[in-house]
Amino acid sequence: MRIDFRINGIDQSIELSNDEMLVNVIRERLELRGTKIGCGNGECGACTVLVDGDAVCSCLIPAHRVAGRSITTIEGIAKENELSPVQAAFVRHGAVQCGFCTSGMIMSASALLAVNLKPTEADISHALAGNICRCTGYRQIIDAVLDASGQTPLGHEPS
């Protein structure tokens, strides 16, 4: 089965094998390895990408379902080599440690800020509830999202 879709602003046409999942198309076919595979079953959020603006776990999405749709991965977030506001805030707040969760976190946070310009801390925690981080304790991540939305971080000041 052949599907056409758009990813990071570029049209793609790919012949799928049976049962191929979106995360495999992204990482193996298109070699966009910023999207990670952690659990492989929808529990960690490391594989989060945007499909038509919605944050989804790409390990759970059969690739044929994105036919005709628009996907954004972490590689498509920066504009002309300039970090997105969320990416830059993650750097400022030390919200990246081992980095394994980071691309998924940034995709979920970006989806939130696209529909909620001034999220509360509770809004952010809710939006990131499906993204697990084993390093940061989440404070720096929440502060980074508050900062990216122009609000005062509640915990650590940016370095």
Q: Kindly list the residues in this chain that would bind ligand FES in the complex (CB under 6 A).
A: 37-40, 42-47, 57, 59, 96-102, 133-136
Q: How far is the CB of 130 from ligand FES (least distance, A)?
A: 7
In terms of CB distance, is 113 or 141 closer to ligand FES?
141
- CA gap 20, 144 in Å, rounded: 34
Q: How near is the Cβ of 21 to ligand FES at its closest, in Å?
A: 9
Is the CB of residue 110 less than 8 Å from the CB of residue 50? yes
User: Smallest gap, in angstroms, from Cβ of residue 10 to ligand FES?
Assistant: 23
| Closest to ligand FES by CB, 9 or 124 | 124
CB-nearer residue toward ligand FES: 118 or 137: 137
Residue type, 125: S
In the numeric block, which tokens belong to residue 44? 């960690």
Residue that is written with structure tokens 């012949």 in the block: 15
| Strand, helix or coil for residue 81 | coil
Q: What are phi and psi of 122, to 5 degrees?
A: -65, -40
